[in-house]
Amino acid sequence: MSNTPIGLFIGIGFAFVIIFIVLSILSFAVPCMILYYVYKLDDPKCDCVMDWRNPFIKYWTIATLFIICINASLGTNPIIMIITSIMTAVGVYALFTYIGDINEKQCKCAIDNMPFINNFLYYYRWLMIIGVFVSFSGALKLAASSNGKQWLSFHKPEHKNTDGFKTYSYTTVGKKGSKDYKRINT
């Protein structure tokens, strides 16, 4: 059956399901690992790098977990995506430099007490940098391919007129500027 088109289709579908499950688990497990790592470095006995990055990484990771849960249950929102993108860029910078400084200064709390997490995050930070560049280039390609079409839409709540018609209004942003539109549905 695996040589038939149906068998091949089922095999590819099964592979995508496995990849989706693994990525879903990682999207939740990695922020939990980062949170554990940063909380362990907060110990007063630990004499590691303590600056603005430590609390920022903590709160950014908690917000990331919260946003993952919201996106999984409600879907995405353009405004949340923009805010998340900005915070992710700052978070990636903070995590990248923080873990680099901890390893450069040979922090015993991280290197000796949490060697697996420390090594994982040391290499994972490079994957995060690559991911940011890939996401950024993808967003630029999407914006460039819009050719003045709508690429970001902010929906306003519906309004019922006195005659029973529903009016939806939204603003689109594209290469030719922003425009307000009204759409009437019966």
Percent composition of the chain: helix, strand, coil (DSSP 3-state, to 5): 65, 15, 20
Confidence at residue 122, expressed as pLDDT on a 0 to 100 scale: 92
Mean pLDDT of the chain: 75
Cα separations in angstroms, 82 against 15, 88, 116, 135, 168: 31, 10, 33, 12, 23
- What is the pLDDT averaged over residues 40-68? 86
Phi, psi of 165 (to 5 degrees): -80, 145
Most confident of 154-158, 159-163, 180-184: 159-163
pLDDT band at 23 (very low <50, low <70, confident <90, very high): confident
* pLDDT(126) > 80: yes
Q: Which distant-in-sequence residues (6+ apart) come within 8 Å of 10 by Cβ?
A: none
Type of residue found at 116? F
Cα separations in angstroms, 122 against 34, 101, 125, 130: 11, 10, 6, 14
Q: Which of 56-60, 64-68, 104-108 has the lowest mean pLDDT?
A: 64-68
Confidence at residue 109, expressed as pLDDT on a 0 to 100 scale: 86
Tell me the pTM: 0.63
pLDDT band at 143 (very low <50, low <70, confident <90, very high): low
